[in-house]
Amino acid sequence: MSSFKKTIIKSYPRPREEATADGLYWKLEPPVIKREYGAINYVHFSQCEPYNFAVTNSTRVHIYNAQTNQIERTITRFKGNVYSGSFRSDGSLLVAGGEEGVVRMFAVEKNAMLRVFKGHTAPVHVTHFTCDNVRVFSASDDLSLRLWDVATEVNVATYKEHKDFIRCGTSPSSNSDIILTGGYDHVVKMYDSRLKESVMSVDHGCPVESILIFPSGGLFFSAGGNYIKVWDALAGGKLLKQICCHHKSITTLGFCSNFQRLLSGSLDRHIKMYDISTYQVVHTLDYAGSVLSAAVSPNDSCLVMGTTDGLLSIQHRKKEMETRKAKTNQPQKSSFHYSVRARRYFTRAKDDLIIKNAKKDLLSPWDKQLKQFNYSRAIDCALDRKVRIQTPEIVISVMQELIRRDVIKSALAGRDEPKLQILLKFIIVNITNVNFMPTLIDVANILLSLYSSMMGQSGSCSEALGKLQTILNEEVKYLKVCSQTLGSMDTIFAAAEINTKPSTTKTD
């Protein structure tokens, strides 16, 4: 009697991302998701351990513990929406603007309001401490930038040069007199608090959503639209580079990896990290919602992202594996070669002859059913949830084996509605794969011929067929576009080949 021949599982190439240093460095733990009360417009980390972070949304500022991911304090002394809650460099004070046009300063530990800066006539979207920690600057929809003295609450400087709302601002950590603002008038302006007007102005080209400056103040970045621009402040605002790696508006910028990496978040639900030396994307993170704000802790241990629909994602970088303990001289049980019934283990001697027991050749569940000619059960075994999700090529190989045996129609016949739904769902998910498409199209045609009368009676099956039809229509459109593109390219290449051929002329 001939032995049963197992089903040959074909292997298909799968696209894999090459492991990079940044990819390994930014291996993150599963996110901790928090639901906030509104769009999270700003996230800011304290520069002092344990690197707690402030999350600004709706009418409150939450102070989260970066180690426990829990709220430690909540600041709610606002009458309307609050914006740009940011720490002082020592982490003891926090300043935030509001919808009512007032800037408030709080003692974080005591959760007490210490100062109120009044003077703006429209919502304040930008509030930060200068690096000397004795002044605060704020920018508002009233088109003004104001500098405040913390001790006296006095407005020491006011600038009104923007022609539209000011929605972002920053200051370098090395110079307390330099302030940058970006507005919806497409302009980024640099101010020196010792002078009465701006010292530099550059045109970004579209509304500026976020700006960032190096601690030295030599280079700064502006983000708006789907691109980032790099400017040289020392050269008078010379444009050095334009980075365009997002396909929707960029909403936030930040530094990480000790200022060696630039971070950008966008409404396209991606966070990208760039190498500062080349401005090339070195790592990308995907999220389920549009990114409105993002920040990384000073030691890169925690990444926090806020979305437009109020979801807060907190992720910690995976810690490096601890060094393993030194192996003892005593060998482990897994290194022993044979034992006796008394559970006494012996290691292999130099002259021992080892006889290996032949391992029993076990059949997979679908092969067991194929051996017994249970073709319908063979497909059911292959369509097990874990198998069809992780290794869909097994399902395809079983289908191809049934087609080879010419029993695919009988294997698909007589299926109840739940099993039919599983099969249709598998086809919908995998039919766009070019490796699986020929087999799945044949199977789909057989299903239509077998269950055409049932499809109108079952709502779920009819819905699945509608999805399948939509997917196939989209694939046909893509194929038409690709065919047209190939035809155009062939024409271009043919014309280029004719033009490059050397001309031959007859000479007498």
Q: Are 179 and 193 in contact (CB under 8 A)?
A: yes
Question: How high is the pLDDT of residue 492?
Answer: 85
Is residue 205 classed as helix, strand or coil in its secondary structure? coil
Strand-strand pairing, 250-256 and 178-183: unpaired
Give the Cβ contact number of residue 357 at 10 Å: 5
How distant, in Å, are the alpha carbons of 122, 130, 369 from that of 141?
5, 21, 71
Q: Tell me how far apart the alpha carbons of residues 376 and 366 are, in angstroms, rounded to a whole number.
A: 10
Return the closest-CA partner of residue 419 out of 372, 457, 379. Answer: 379
Q: Tell me how far apart the alpha carbons of residues 25 and 19 are, in angstroms, rounded to a whole number.
A: 10
Query: Token match 């513990």: residue?
Result: 65
Q: Are 181 and 198 in contact (CB under 8 A)?
A: no
Give the Cβ contact number of residue 470 at 10 Å: 11
Give the Cβ contact number of residue 160 at 10 Å: 10
Stated pTM of the model:
0.65
Q: Tell me how far apart the alpha carbons of residues 325 and 342 are, in angstroms, rounded to a whole number.
A: 30
Cis before 15? omega within 30: no
CA angle 215, 197, 163 (to 5 degrees): 95
Question: How high is the pLDDT of residue 322?
Answer: 39
Mean pLDDT by 10 residues, the chain (508 residues): 74 69 89 91 93 94 93 91 94 94 93 93 95 94 95 94 95 93 96 93 95 94 95 94 93 94 94 94 91 94 93 88 43 48 58 69 86 90 87 90 90 86 88 87 87 72 81 84 85 78 52
Strand-strand pairing, 155-159 and 238-243: unpaired
Return the closest-CA partner of residue 409 out of 372, 447, 441. Answer: 447
Total residues found in the chain within this entry:
508
